[in-house]
Structure 1
Amino acid sequence: MIGGGPGRELSSPPSDGISNLRFSNHSDHLLVSSWDTKVRLYDASANILKGEFAHRRPVLDCCFHDDSSGFSASADRNVCRFDFNTGREDLLGTHEAPVRCVEYSHATGQVVSGSWDKTVCAWDARGGTRVGTYPQPERVYSMSLVGHRLVVATAGRHITVYDLRHMPHPEQHRESSLKYQTRCVRCYPNGTGYALSSVEGRVAMEFFDMSDAGQAKKYAFKCHRKSEAGRDTVYPVNAIAFHPVYGTFATGGCDGFVNVWDGNNKKRLYQYSKYPSSIAALSFSRDGRLLAVASSYTFEEGQKPHEPDAIYVRSVNEAEVKPKPKAYAPAP
């Protein structure tokens, strides 16, 4: 099914490329990082900008600590902690190159950062001390956490899976089943695997279980493509977001479209009307009622005139995200 307007546009958007956005686990607060060096906190339901913090260089990722504080990863090589209630900002730690990813584990109380210096670092969120440094085969492009498990995707199509309780000894070293550069990795909410997207308009569904039966379930599919006059135009898939209730997921591409997929039944459930620019990031709210969409040019075609960066918040209808029951043929 295709349709639906873009949603309500948030006021006071970032003035340069949006690198990520995330809903809080406790409210409709939305945390946004961007290339204009800012981290912003919005009340997405009330359409209010509640506060902002600034780095010296572009902010490449952000995540919540609690409802009004969080962590940021910046091209200035710093990982910072900030509190919008008190206005306090602290330096948690520093990498040797821009920091691309940051995650907070509620299970262990650790902050994990991934950098283009080819390392992942773990930090104590309370004291700001470095817990460990873990070398990677290449620059870190994307990370995702579920429970105690961390998935790190790097350049060169490398995937490393960690148990946060035993970081010095990775659980798995894998290679992406997609042939081209990884753009995004996101763990399944049920903890059984992860979805991986690439610059070549594909998504792979992977599983942690390395048994033959477990690996037999994995598959990949094409998406975010356009066919005109017998010629395919292929777009990078920049963003993946899982619905917290139904386990279906949305993908966003440089074609400006957001698609919703039923991974179990291998079907597309919905496609929203085209957004003004590339989809840079996606996030469902904690109850799945809202979907935040970052419409922000990701420079896949180099420097050129483009639409202003914008954040849209959609009200999600159940029919857009709920898996449809399988149709069974009557017995003869």
Structure 2
Amino acid sequence: MKFKAWTFLLLCNLFWSGNMIVGKWVTDYFSPIWMVSIRWFIAFLFLFPLAFFLEKPNWLKIIKENYIVLLFMSITGTFVYNWLTYVALQYTTSLNASLICALNPAIIMIFSFFILKIKIKRVQVLGLIFSFIGVLLVITKGKPFLAFQLNYNIGDGFMILCVIMWGLYSVIGKKANHIPPITTIAITAFFGCLATIPFLINTPLDFPNLTSASILGIIFIGVFPSFLSFLLWNIGNRMLTPAVAGLSINSLCMFTAIISFIMGKQILISQISGGIIIVSGIILSSNLKLNYLNKRNEIVKNYTNQG
């Protein structure tokens, strides 16, 4: 179960790394609020029929009984988080944004402790530290102390708010475990789109400035970082605790480095080392190795008893 959960979470972060790269480019053609509205409209077009045929939910009953949680998830995770991300990318550098995103696991752990009353194990804290060190190595090119010499701007402030919004979304989303996952994302995508409408009226779309490449970019964001990523995140988040699932977010830097390499940019040894440390921290905090050894020992014990 944990291996499957981590596969979902890592794929989710792979698509999100694509959102950081494509999203920063697409903001030259679409305003942040239009990007949020269009990406979730596209995602809803996939989510609604999928939920309707696979999960067959009673839509009105689910919304009526869970409207507070669903509205909260829609506002924090679907609308505000994504809007703040695109606004931040207009002001801050990818280096600053990556550093601040590394705070996600810590914020989720803190919210999990205070809201869900989930105890934080020492091994999780150790894994968090490992992952954070790996992130620093990746984004500072092997010179982690440079992180304290960066000049922060308004975009960094928006990114900090993004981290807080995602922490709240992840933790409160745990309270929607009884709702089918595809149905949950479909409803929050719908509510998230509705929330953008009042802001779209005062932000006209610049149609003459659009290109075929920018339209393909927004479609990519709607399908992969929106539809697939949020679906995979919610499934993985339900299989694990939000605090453990949050550690996977640190893999964003590793995937960004890989994509950059494919696009022809140089990758340093420090970035490769950082990626290995990030994965090590994730494995340590999720107890994957420990669970594997316990399962193996159990199999050996049962086989010995049968013999």
Question: Which one has the largest radius of gyration?
Answer: 2
TM-score of the alignment, normalized to the shorter chain, above 0.5: no
User: How does the TM-score come out when normalised to structure 1?
Assistant: 0.21
Compare the two structures and name the one with the higher strand fraction: 1
